[in-house]
Amino acid sequence: MAIAKQLMGFSSFVSASSKVFLHNKHGIFWVNPILLPLENTRLRMGAKFPVAAISEDLIKTTLTVHAKKPLQFKVRAVVTVRNKIKEDFKETMLKHLDAINDSIGTRNVVLELISTEIDPKTKSPKKSSKAALMDWSKKSNVKAERVNYTTEFIVDSNFGVPGAITVTNKHQREFFLESITIEGFVSGAVHFPCKSWVQGERIFFSNKTYLPGDTPAGLRVLREKELINLRGDGKGVRTLSDRIYDFDTYNDLGNPDEGVELTRPTLGGSQNHPYPRRCRTGRAPTDTDMHAESRVEMPLPMYVPRDEQFDESKLNTFVIKRLKAVVHNLIPGLKASLSANNHDFNRFSDIDDLYSDGLPLQDEILKKIPLLQVLTKIQECSQGLLKYDTPKIISKDKFAWLRDDEFARQAIAGVNPVNIEGLKVFPPVSKLDPEIYGHQDSALKEEHILGQLNGMTVQQAIVENKLFMVNYHDVYVPFLDGINALDGRKSYATRTIFFLTPLGTLKPIAIELSLGPSSGWKRVVTPPVDATTNWKWQLAKAHVCANDAGVHQLVNHWLRTHACMEPFILSAHRQLSAMHPVFKLLDPHMRYTLDINALARQKLINADGIIESCFTPGRYCMEISCGAYKNGWSFDMEGLPADLMRRGMAVPDPTQPNGVKLLIEDYPYATDGLLIWSAIENWVRTYVNHYYRHASLICNDKELQAWYSESINVGHADLRHQRCWPTLNNSEDLVSILTTLIWTVSAQHAAINFGQYPYGGYVPNRPPLMRRLIPFPEDEAEYANFLADPQKYFLNALPSVLQATKYMSIVDILSTHSSDEEYLGERRHSSIWSGDADITEAFCSFSAEIRRIEKEIERRNLDPSLRNRCGAGVLPYELLAPTSRPGVTCRGIPNSVST
């Protein structure tokens, strides 16, 4: 009776399967109750139903059995699978075959739970029974985006907490597993974030976070095994279904088998051409060069690990934009192929027509081909399919781009606001080696700018931080002789001097133009005083914009936010377990980057690709990017405050929230950027301090240290001995490194990417390519043409119609947000992201801060005292406004580099 009285303190209930759940301080177990006839049962007053009675003998027997053999109970799994929106014929057939297989009882999708605990008898993790998904065949035709399947596991009462689950897909067709939720454990539901394509056997871990040293015994071997699988062995050709993350050099940009003119140097692995590493594909070498990897051309896909490939909605956005680009380039391409002449814009109205009617079909050249009637019909039926969207730069003021104040405003609030720097020495000094390039003394003199300084001397203006410069001299000089020898390419190396007016706006006061080392030609152009000098000034500004477009695309956009981040992503997958807190933090900031970078290698930055075709440097484009990596990229300067101070745009000030004071108060990129930087930094600091309460935890975290070390020593092997790498010894080191990475792939990328079509879609505002130098009297023939028709001369110096429309199409694609974009401060499926309530709460605070910043940006854009973002015809600065609708919006900060 003592035992029976003691058990009166237990809580008990009857489950749906008529089992009694017993609980006391020693544990939890199930027993099968005995249903006694109603007349033999003591009932509470008014009871009219049978109840479960437990005899003392039963209790004694049950406890004895329990001591010898664990009891078993059922738990339920809810498996969420995401369907494809569209299926091809092969996929549909395989789906039906798989459904037939399931309907006859074949166990094709099988799951097994793995405990965090080790079985003392087997010395291996405890496992549940294997369970097949129910109703797979019945739900095979469900059209919903997401479909839930269920199954049940039988586990022992001493199973412990599930920490992993294996999923085996024996179907012929892969499926996208979004998540698994296990219900029935007393500790509550257990979530498994999967977000992965499954074919064969896979293992997934719960959303519980563990540092390597805290990994439960049952998961240690699995944790290391999964990382080994992701690293691969560095051998063989990768197939599209692989999930292998490995490093290689950029040895696949050229196509020597197609001709010597398409050979390109390997970037990475040498002193002459250092470069970050990219994802290894393992393709065979070309026939003519054993060191060059053979190419895969569209429409065949380039390898990236399976889970890095675009989701269907993202891919559909790209496909639609590509189709639109093909149609847009159809007419210019046909005209170029049918005529030896390079067709130019001859009037500004020719450019305007692109946005109102599209390119005209009734052309003398096109009339020669039978396709004309077809094309005309397409145009009639498509409601302006050949028409381009009006770029934002001309939507408020068609002639804003002609003004000097707008030219200067875009240096701090346009698509490339990261090259302007404080002028500390006048005239500027080159850092190029004189033994290689000769003495590169500047042609700028005080008399060129003295009359533009509001009565100041040059030295006074420098001391009072009134002079600024956009300097492309050293970037371009090493390549100018080669560029200007190319057919239809002409370039200067430019320096542009700006003066900060009392109104807080900039005005350009001088442009220095330099040709290659072989000529030594230099000249300074100053603001116009008459009609002739006005056109020369417009041409000089156009050459500055072409320099700017090249550095923006090749250095600030591609190199700094795409290529330099790829090694950190590859190493994160190779060295950080999915259970690691740093991997969980970085995960949304790595989405799609490997795929967009692979597409760039395939179509954009390759030999004779879109970048070489559309930008002035031509075949030297990637060598310019390589030179910038060698001479200018430094990880410790990629954070916003450090970058602003490096460029002399800010000075240290401990009284300011970010520790810096801006020298141009109305610098929209910097003022908005510092708000975003601070929010990211505070969120990261809260996150890091939660998991790393002592510096020793960081030093002893083998996965963390391996990730950072591999990112540097393998991913950035050519710069591994530089002093640009912060140490990783304490929490502040880690906060700084992670904040820099997250800032770079989110806000920094957004600031220099999503304005490309809004600003560059009107080619005269931002020509990516120039085909004529500025005419001077010593060249009599050119100068006569210029004087006869300066407008035509200016337009003919810009890209041809085909070059312009090709460029417009690609920046339209790059500027587009897809419908599945995840923006800064957002995490979809929050229930499966973090198993830690404190971290979830901290992230909610971060999200709220991002929303507050968005409102502050909206307020600033309505403040008439901020003339660089508010005024008649002035575009508001929204490139760092966090959210956006789909499409080309000139705003929105996605979590990752995905375009």
Tens-digit pLDDT profile for residues 651-682: 999 999 889 999 999 999 999 999 999 999 99
Q: Give which of 431, 428, 506 is closest to 465, Cα–Cα.
A: 506
Domains, the chain, in order of start with CATH, read: 70-211 (2.60.60.20), 418-550+768-798 (3.10.450.60)
Residue 338 pLDDT exceeds 80: no
Tell me how far apart the alpha carbons of residues 748 and 343 are, in angstroms, rounded to a whole number.
37
Of 264-268, 313-317, 575-579, where does mean pLDDT reach its minimum? 313-317
Q: What is the pLDDT of residue 889?
A: 97
CB proximity list for 866: less than 8 A, separation 6 or greater: 504, 666, 668, 860
DSSP state, 714? I
Tell me how far apart the alpha carbons of residues 623 and 620 are, in angstroms, rounded to a whole number.
5
Q: Give which of 415, 311, 347, 329 is closest to 85, Cα–Cα.
A: 311
Q: What is the pLDDT of residue 327?
A: 66
More confident residue, 833 or 394: 394
Q: Band of the pLDDT at 277, cuts 50, 70, 90?
A: very high
Q: Give which of 697, 711, 700, 740 is closest to 575, Cα–Cα.
A: 711
Q: Hey, what amino acid is at 865?
A: S
Q: What is the pLDDT of residues 23-34, one digit of tens each?
A: 443 444 444 433
Q: What is the pLDDT of residue 369?
A: 52
CA distances 215 to 1, 513, 695, 702, 838, Å, are 44, 62, 19, 12, 20
Report the share of the chain in percent with pLDDT over 90.
Answer: 76
Q: What is the pLDDT of residue 18?
A: 38
Q: What is the pLDDT of residue 29?
A: 41
Residue 58 pLDDT exceeds 70: no
The continuous run of DSSP H or E covering 71 comes out as: none
- Report whether 203 contacts 174 (CB < 8 A): no
**Strand, coil or helix: what is 191?**
strand
Q: Band of the pLDDT at 340, cuts 50, 70, 90?
A: low
Both tokens of 311, joined, read: 């989701």
